[in-house]
Amino acid sequence: MSQDEGLRGITTGQLDRVLKTNVYALFWITRAALDHLPRGGAIINTTSIQAFEPSPQLLDYATTKAAILNFTQGLAQQLAPEGIRVNAVAPGPIWTPLIPATMPDEKIEQFGADTPLGRAGQPAELAPAYVFFASQEASYITGDRLGVTGGRTL
State the catalytic residues: 61
CA distance 12 to 77: 32
Helix 25-34 to helix 59-79 angle (10° resolution) is 20
CA distance 20 to 27: 9
Whether 149 and 92 have beta carbons less than 8 Å apart is answered as yes
Burial class (CB in 10 A: 0-12, 13-18, 19+), 111: middle
CA distance 128 to 147: 12
Phi, psi of 43 (to 5 degrees): -110, 130
